[in-house]
Amino acid sequence: MKKYYFVGISGVSMSSLAMFLISEGHQVKGYDKKISPFLVENGVEIDQQEDFQKIDWADEIVYSSAFNLNFPLIDYALKIKKIVKVRGQCLAEIAQNYQTVVAVAGSHGKSTVTAMIYNILKFAGKQPSLHVGANLVESGKNYDVSDKDFFVTEACEYHDNFLFLHPSLSVVTNLESEHLDYFKSFAREQKSFNQFIKQSQLCILKSSFKAKRIKAEAKCVKFDVYKDERFLMSLKLKIGGVYNVQNALLAIQAARALGISYCYIKCGLENFLGLQKRFEHVNATCSATVILDYAHHPREIKSVFESVKKIKAKKIAVFQPHTYSRTQAFLNDFVKTLSQFDEVVLFKTFAAREEENFQVEIKLISLLSKNKKTSMFYDVCALVDKLKTYRKGDVVCIMGAGNLPELLKHQNFILKD
């Protein structure tokens, strides 16, 4: 058994990898500025200060792509000749322990498709293991350590982490320009995805199943599934968001490739409760309908709007930009998609790995304000006061991949279940 030290251990993927290693009998400790209550509850020691003795203690160091090799702990580990691995390498090594590896990549929808495939396999009695970039509504966890037959994982393209995987079956949900701080160009991103596809024994790029008679409601989506103009089944998903129709069709295609019968596919999809922050209806201390979504790319914001546009109500976009580089790269697209809402409320950018650049926010506010009621908040208490002014019938869509949901929970605006 080995001793692992994780740099950036509280991250959503890193924390689940830590639990996989612990389940196999390894010892895991880690560093992060943010404490993960879940890891602490499971006995994982987390340092908020850099402790070089922990590097001495560990056999292997695993680091998140949010850190670079010059970070003191990683730099020290390299200098003393420790084994140092990026997150994607650790995920790939865990995946090697399974007979069938299903990996889902893509610009949008990969977390949901991953979880849908997992749920179908679970209802088919396959006892799959899971690694996904969001928490399941049902369990509140983003992983499941089960049998060694099936491993279903989200495959993240950032820093080419997904290229460490060689899946039995892969799914690419879609491909758009993203993570330009790393890829620099869409052509470079396409090259990486093409390599990922080559490394897969079988890859699904498009579903051969079609949806007809789609009826999207606030908290569910109904549609009929066809193949070659032949009716197969009617589905009623327990999650909203019209874009989840395409996610479900991809999950059906993957399940059929794995030999799963239609009856189990129907059970798995109709009993899927969704992921947290994926068009999630939440209880809040205001009378408006409040929807929480991870949307942080213009295309994802557009998908959220498409899912609420038919509701006869005032639609408010509450958006926390995620990184200045993404906002700058897609500035005009952000303006276009956010302007579809009746009102736009911005919260300070979640900088993540970047230095503050308020000029980018100023550009965004300036462009939005030309034709749309727009306000900007840097203080969460002031934002909460604003959100409490919305009335019954209004729809408030809180979007972004940053820390705003956690801040709103801390302020008791979003009520914890």
Helix (H, G, I), strand (E, B) or coil at 163: helix
List the strands of the sheet with 315-319, edge to edge.
Answer: 280-282, 289-293, 395-399, 315-319, 343-347, 373-377
Predicted confidence pLDDT, tens digits, the chain (417 residues): 899 999 999 988 999 999 999 999 999 999 998 888 889 988 999 999 999 999 999 999 999 988 989 999 999 999 999 999 999 999 999 999 999 999 999 988 999 999 999 999 999 999 999 999 888 988 888 999 999 999 999 999 988 999 999 999 999 998 887 777 778 888 999 999 999 999 999 999 999 999 999 998 778 899 999 999 999 999 999 998 888 999 999 999 999 999 999 999 999 999 999 998 888 889 999 999 999 998 999 988 998 998 888 888 899 999 999 999 999 999 999 999 999 999 999 999 998 778 888 899 999 999 999 888 999 999 999 999 999 999 998 999 999 988 999 999 999 999 875
For residues 266 and 64, give the distance between their C-alpha atoms in angstroms, rounded to a whole number: 37
**Which CATH class, in words, describes the domain spanning 280-410?**
alpha beta
CB 148 within 8 A of CB 90: no
Contacts of 206 (CB under 8 A, 6+ apart): none
CATH number corresponding to 3-87: 3.40.50.720
φ, ψ dihedrals at 96, nearest 5°: -65, -15
**Which CATH class, in words, describes the domain spanning 98-270?**
alpha beta
Domain ranges of the chain: 3-87, 98-270, 280-410
Helix (H, G, I), strand (E, B) or coil at 86: strand
Residue 131: exposed, middle, or buried by beta-carbon count in 10 A (0-12, 13-18, 19+)?
buried
Contacts of 39 (CB under 8 A, 6+ apart): 9, 10, 15, 18, 19, 30, 46
Residue where the block lists tokens 């010059």: 70
